[in-house]
Each structure stands twice: as structure tokens, then as C-alpha cells.
Structure 1
């Protein structure tokens, strides 16, 4: 397939997934995905499917993204190993599609936590367009590869960097996202921020795990507004984490605010426990910029509604709506693949 054909294949995939038939075929796999990973509720799988369809595979989105590149027309020339994460549904699909766009063969090593939905999607796509089949191969171990993109924790990244050191590679480590508040946010804006905190149970690298607050912030009102997400307490895994972590905070005498689904703690770390959110207070914008700059290499996304910041940010409610150009860790994955 030449580049024009690959691009059209992605557009066709988007139309397929947007159709009643495509939606129905994918939803058949939601129960199995949930049985294999109790964090993948049907509504979370649907949310991920909708984001893929609307943010990546819509023709206008694809055209706008590819306007910045000049992919060449050549046969499948490289074998690219993809070590995928499994923290949220279909989190690795973007790397697979970018590999396809670049004209390379993807050697896919799935996470055991997310080994249902992407295989189902690729099978459905191949059924509709058999010509794409040579571009994808599922592997248990990476061998005979020309480059690799591996996503994992800080610990696994050290292993990846050693193991893949002699090949072109992108190694992704732990990152979390943060939000900055002015203290003047409306109830609607706080509810939008709540989606950035609670979507996918806060397990994504784009999930807000820490917030920066001005002096004299109204903590009680903030926590009260987030009670709109109280239905999360009915999810057993989330509730178990909430109860366990709050018990730790109480036993340790850790200062915190609490509602039915969230503990809010004055801690500087970017990464928080499940059902927990850290906060840090800033005195002025200059200090806020300094706090963000200190941890910039560990931040995936800054969520900001009202403040004027020097660095890039997204609006409240948009953290879990990435587009093609929102590359993980800020590294242009398509440019990397095209340069192989």
C-alpha cells in the first residue's frame, strides 16, 4: 500500500468504527475486556473508542495532522517493535496507527492488562480491508526488529534502555498530569476538571494527579462540587483503594480533605495514589511557573482554564481527549518513524 492508500485506510477505519455495525462489533468485546481487567468498564472502553474515532480517525483531523509531514511511498521497509502499556483501554493504538502511516510493520507486544480491545479492532479492520494485514504482527518477544517504541514504568524503562540501546528507540517512563486553578472557577469548570481527574479512575498518564491552588482557596466548595462523581464508590476496586489509602492517611496523621470518592492531600509529589489527589499552594504566577518548570520533564499535560501560562496547556475536561499532535512525553513519534 502506498501512503495515499494507508491514509484512506485509516479514514475508512474511522467510518467503520463510527457506524452502527462497527460500534456493535466492538461492544461485543467489552465484557471480556472487563473480565480480564476490572478497571475496564464498558463505559470506559466506549469512551476510549469514541476518542479514537473522533480525535484520530476523522478525516479532517488526519488531514490537519499530516499536513506537517511528507511521508514517502515505499514498501514495508522496517520492523518496529511496540511494547504497549495497558493502564487504560486501547492506550497503545496510536503507536500502532502511526507505525502503519509511516509504512512500517508493527511487531506488537500487548500488555496482559489490555489484550482484548486492540486485537478485536485490528481483526475487524482486516476483515474489511485485507490489504492491511501484512503491517501487523503480534509477538510474545521482540526479535529481528529495526527500532522500538516501549512504554512502561520508570523501573521497566531502565531495562528497556539497556536492552534496546543499540537500536533506534523511544522509551517512555512514568508521567502524570497536573491542573492549575485560579480560585475563580465555576461549578461547570470544576466538573470538567473532575473528568480529567476521574476518567479511567485516574490511571492514565494524562490523568490529573496533582493541582496547584492559590492562597485562600475554598477547599470545602471544591470537594463538594466533586461529589458529582460519587457513583465511582460503587466500583469495588476503586472503593477498596479509596478505603485502604484513606486508612493509611488517618493512621499516619496525614492532613487531608475528603469526600465520598477522593482524598485531597498537601503533598508535592506529582504521582498520587488511586482515589487521591495532591495539591500545592502558589503565591503568584511567577512562583507557579517555577513550580511547573521544576517538574516539567515528568508532566504529561498541564490543564488550565483561566490563567496565562508560558508553557502549553489544555482546557478543563480535555486532558483525556488527545489528538494526533499530542505526542506522549512530547516526542514526535511519526517524525521518529519516518526517519528510520
Structure 2
């Protein structure tokens, strides 16, 4: 299968996904295999919350639309253009790559799945118990578009066996297990990471509203969700709270509300000083990882010193939101819209797959 053929299959998948929207899903005549897949996928979207309580239709639709936007011919070609010579030399060296996927947000492992297949390798997939249905469905669609993918995709039920390399995502604790268990295999092992935002006090209301999207999308469960704010000494949080008030409906979701009540109670019983607006607590804390419904913050006095701190802590950070205060800063509201070339943990998955023997 040529690279162009593989690219065309994922472009077709992008067209399929583009039909689904929270406002109104509508089948289009130019999309392949809608008769077999459209209605069933719409049903699966609405069943997802019964499989994982955090996978509300709103969040699943958002994830699907994000992938629909990414899987265009232009984006895929731009993503892969820098690897053209490596693709030429890797065509005859197909490997079986074990994928151990997370399940914190919908389709969080899709990029690894895509990367393995687009590089001509075979994917041996262990899904998370929290996300067992969406990716297998999309795999069936891909096979329907091009049956040559059938022997390239395997979903493992039990122990992973007979693979050449591994990409595994988990917590810091499971990463230690992965590193030991897969010590004899080429691997990418991902650990816990969190995202932070740097505020100067000069942000517009629109920027702070957009920051709310970075905080509340997927209920804050993703590694790209902002869980830490760095603010200048004496920062007034009233403007921030006013801007994010538009996200207040999150408290009406029971699982989020339960976390809000529990974590707030734990903080208060420990006599921590909190800022609270009724659906989000802010706590001064040096950690990057805050619990659901809470964001940690720290004051800073010198931007250069803060930038050095963030560089030193880079292995704990997935991305940084700011008004171009750091290299590779992400704009407010954009953390959950990564491009195909935005690699998790800044590890180039395609290079790993093309160069691993």
C-alpha cells in the first residue's frame, strides 16, 4: 500500500467524521459507506456516556470534530512532508507496534493509531477500559474503505504478545511498570503531564473566556487542559472569574459536581485558603496537577525567572498557554485543538516509527 493510498483512506475518514455535530448530524452523499456506518456511529456517540460517564455527547462530538478538522489532505500532507526520505527507506520494514492507550478523553489514542498505520506498520492495540468502543468502530470504517488494513489492525483482549515496539500511555506509576516490562523493546512511554497558563493581567475578556475552554473542555481530564495558572504578584482574580462564568453549567453535570464538592471539602478541612466561584476553586499551590474542578496558581515577579522555571520543569508540562511569552506558546482557547504535528510530550512519533529497527 503506497503512502498516497494510506493518506487517502484517512482523508475519507475525516470526511466521514465531519458529518457529525452536536447541533445537527447530517449524512452527505459524497461520503463512502454511510449506509453501513452513519446511523450506527450516531448511536454510539450517544451511548458513549453509558460506557464512560465523562464521555457526554458534547465532549464526544467535540473530539470527533477536532479529528475531522485534522484529517484533511492538506493537513496530512503538511504533517508528513518532512519525513519523505524516511518513508522511502522504511517501506519494506513493517513492524508490529503495541499501543497501550489511555482513556481519559475520547479518542485520546487516535494519533498513535494513525501514526502506526500511516507509516506502514501493524497496530496491536490495547484499549483503555474507559474507551473501548470509539476507536474499534473507526477501525472498521477504515477497513471498509480499504480492506488491506484488515491485517494491519488487531485489538488485543488479553496479554500483548508478538510485537516489535511499544507506545504506552499511563500514569507515573504505570509508566514505571511499562519501563520495566518493555525494557527490551524500543518504546515511547508517556507519563503524567499537565498544562499551564501564564497571565500578565493585560488579557482581554475574550482571551480569558477562551482560557476557560482550555480549563473546562473534557471536564479538565486531559493532559492539555490548563490545571495551573501563573499570575503576577497582586493579580486580581475577579476579571478571570467574570470571564469564565459562561462555563457555569459544568456544575450541573453530576460527576463534575461530586468532584467539586469533595475536593472543596478536602481543601477546607485542611484549612487551605481558596478562591471559589461556585463551580471552580483556585488554590495557591506549587504543583502542576490539580484535581478536577480546581486550578492551582502561583504568583511570579519576573517573567525571565518564570520561563527558566518552566524550562526546568518541562518534563511535567504538556503545553503552555500565553500571549507568546514562551517559545511554542499556545494561544488562549487552543489547547484542545492540536495539529497532527503537535506530538504528545514533544516526542516525534513518526520519526520513532520510521527509524526503529
State the TM-score, normalized to the length of structure 2: 0.91
- Corresponding residue of 2:134: 117
* Counterpart contact for 2:9–2:145, Cα < 8 Å: no
Match of 2:230, SS state, is: strand
* Counterpart contact for 2:7–2:73, Cα < 8 Å: no
Deviation at 1:219, TM superposition (A): 1.1
Is 1:155 matched up with 2:170?
Answer: no
Instruction: Give every structure 1 segment of 4 or more consecutive aligned residues whose post-TM-superposition deviation is greater than 4 Å.
Output: 22-25
C-alpha deviations, 1:128-183, integer Å up to 9, x for none?
33222121000122101000000000000000000101010000000000001110
Match of 1:69, SS state, is: helix
C-alpha deviations, 1:262-321, integer Å up to 9, x for none?
00010010000100000011112122212312311110000112x532x32110001000
Distance in 2, Cα, partners of 1:166 & 1:298: 25
Deviation at 1:221, TM superposition (A): 2.2
- Corresponding residue of 2:48: 33
* Counterpart contact for 1:227–1:260, Cα < 8 Å: no
Q: Say which of 179, 183, 195 aligns to 1:165.
A: 183
- Corresponding residue of 1:291: 309
Deviation at 1:33, TM superposition (A): 1.5
Distance in 2, Cα, partners of 1:85 & 1:61: 25
Deviation at 1:76, TM superposition (A): 7.0
C-alpha deviations, 1:38-69, integer Å up to 9, x for none?
000001000000111102x1111111111110
* Counterpart contact for 1:99–1:337, Cα < 8 Å: yes
- Corresponding residue of 1:224: 242
Distance in 1, Cα, partners of 2:39 & 2:229: 38
Q: 1:281 to 1:10 in 2, by over 3 A?
A: same
- Corresponding residue of 1:61: 75
Q: Which moved more, 1:182-191 or 1:128-137?
A: 128-137
Match of 1:94, SS state, is: helix
Match of 1:212, SS state, is: strand
Deviation at 1:227, TM superposition (A): 1.5
Runs (5+) with no aligned partner, structure 1: none
- Corresponding residue of 1:175: 193
Deviation at 1:24, TM superposition (A): 4.8
Is 1:331 matched up with 2:347?
Answer: yes
Over the aligned positions, Cα root-mean-square deviation in angstroms equals 1.4
Q: Which moved more, 1:230-239 or 1:22-31?
A: 22-31
- Corresponding residue of 1:214: 232
State the TM-score, normalized to the length of structure 1: 0.96
